[in-house]
Chain A
Amino acid sequence: MNLLDIMTDPNTRWILLGTMFLGLSSGVIGSFAYLRKQSLLGDTLAHAALPGICIAFMLTGVKSTSFFLIGAALAGLAAVFLISVLTRYSKIKQDAALGIVLSSFFGFGIVMLTQIQQSEYGNQSGLDTFLFGQTASMVMSDVYMMMAVSFILIFTCTLFFKEFKLLSFDPGFAKGMGLPVVFLDYFIMMLIVAAVVIGIQAVGVVLMASLLITPAVSARYWTERLHIMVILSGIFGMLSGVSGTLISTSVNNLPTGPLIVLSATAWFFFSLLFAPKRGVLSSVWRRVSLKKNHSLEQERRKGRYTS
């Protein structure tokens, strides 16, 4: 297929729209996660979604995005709760708690997944597409769902921008001002869970974290202002979604999810190298000139002493 065919193929257009919105919304919510130093929480929540989805399927017996959403949200809540219990009531540190919850939930998820595949539904359940994502398995209603959830996510972030900003920057101060910090904390996590759930169908649980992390980090290179960072991060996410989908539909047999991730990485490298102040090129330049200045100054001083 060439590019024109892709653009005119109605099915692809829908998928493109879906991944575009997905990239946009996860980029936006991801930048709050990044500033709150919770980047890998998204990874844990994505992995934790698997048993939630499996249980939802086992209970209802149908493959429905809205039931999966509920299952994943509940599993995500349980994961968040367990992480805070582990770090509060034992000497287990945050990173280990994330790792324990991530691998345990995923392990149990795999157990359930293989059980479902052995059962009467067999491989028709199509649940395995959730591991690495499969845009081809998406139907129209899935895309509607993605767009609806994305819209709600972006709308909420705009509405609560001020509160989220304060919470990310200084939770202690936010609490002092009377903001319901704990509630907002869980609220942001639920938004991340929502982004994860619409994302795993396209990108898969294993790689979903990338869409939350990479665009936000790329955006951070270009600006010191939060609102610009959030917008940029959304744009980077959107571009990744679009370019990943386009490449995967034009080259046969390539999974969309990993390509979206690699596009996001490409944007990250671009930012890493060329961002004006924080980029590698400009900081190398600074370091070199600093060293040069320093040695020049030293020589000048030495010259003064001897003369």
Chain B
Amino acid sequence: MEQAALKVEDLTIAYHKKPVVEDVSFEVPEGNLIGIIGPNGAGKSTLIKGILELVPKLSGDITIKGATYKSMRKSIGYVPQRESVDWDFPTNALDVVMMGRYGHLGWLKRPGKSEKQKAMECLDKVGMAEYANRQISQLSGGQQQRIFLARALAQEADIYFMDEPFVGVDAATEKAIIQLLMDLKEKGKTVLVVHHDLSTVKEYFDWTMLLNKRLMKIGPTQEVFIPEYLQETYGGRLAILPDTKSGLLLK
């Protein structure tokens, strides 16, 4: 088999008393767009943070393309939840995108012309070039999310982790973002997205991971995203009705 883009073994994360993510093991092949789905409190964000070593884990091994996480840091891109930062921070859009280059700059080098140029290209890709000098608090929610995406593009990673990129954005931005993610996939990049809108799963993702503290199922969307497994993941909280368009209607 081809080498997995990401391999997670026995990942367990606990905050206080109970594990939030328990014994999760999976492998993801390269060049896929993967949706991480599960009910509230299922540990979706925590799973990502655990893989990125942002929260301490009880156990677990992460390998990226067969190498350890630490040695592969430069090929990882991360888009945190939009609310996790203070948008009143005194900086402009271009500057935020340039932050994506910091990982490649090393300890002492300062961002210069080439970083600026790269950042402008990335801004252009998300359709935000004209907002480059705008103070970030003056951007709309959707525009802020595009800035975050541009920053991830600037990271020039091979594998991306995105935490709820579609929350609080307008329909146009959502379309633009998903188009961008598809482009990344076409280029052979792997993208994992925490997502909670079940009605768009089939349309957006070619792989789906169902998570509820434990890994319920992972695989190609048409195999995994079926009522039986969803019922299992969400417990009784989900009423599933047959629907012609997306195949599912949720109540």
Which residues of chain A have a CB within 8 Å of any CB of chain B? Answer: 91, 93, 283, 286, 290-291, 294-295, 298
Contacts and interface: CB of A to CB of B under 8 A. Distances in A.
18 contacts: A91-B88, A91-B137, A93-B88, A283-B16, A286-B17, A290-B14, A290-B17, A290-B58, A291-B58, A294-B12, A294-B14, A294-B19, A294-B58, A294-B59, A295-B59, A298-B10, A298-B23, A298-B59
A283 B15 CA distance: 12
Interface of B: 10, 12, 14, 16-17, 19, 23, 58-59, 88, 137
Contacts of A295: 59
B18 to A, nearest CB: 8
Is chain A's binding surface mostly helix, strand, loop or mixed?
A: helix
Contacts of B10: 298
B25 to A, nearest CB: 11
A50 B69 CA distance: 55
Contacts, number: 18
Is chain B's binding surface mostly helix, strand, loop or mixed?
A: strand
A183 to B, nearest CB: 30
A290 B137 CA distance: 43
* Most chain B CB neighbours (cut-off 10 Å) among A93, A286, A294, A295: A294
A283 B14 CA distance: 13
A283 B16 CA distance: 9
Contacts of A286: 17
Given A290-B14, A298-B10, 5 more contacts: A283-B16, A286-B17, A290-B58, A294-B19, A298-B23
Contacts of A93: 88
A300 B35 CA distance: 32
Contacts of A294: 12, 14, 19, 58-59
B107 to A, nearest CB: 31
A298 B14 CA distance: 15
B170 to A, nearest CB: 24
A290 B18 CA distance: 8
Nearest to B86: A93
Nearest to B58: A294
A150 B114 CA distance: 67
A290 B16 CA distance: 10
B11 to A, nearest CB: 12
A294 B14 CA distance: 10
Contacts of B17: 286, 290
A295 B88 CA distance: 44
Nearest to B14: A290
A283 B17 CA distance: 9
B219 to A, nearest CB: 21
A192 B245 CA distance: 60
Contacts of A298: 10, 23, 59
Nearest to A290: B14
Contacts of B59: 294-295, 298
A91 B88 CA distance: 7
A305 B17 CA distance: 27
Contacts of B12: 294
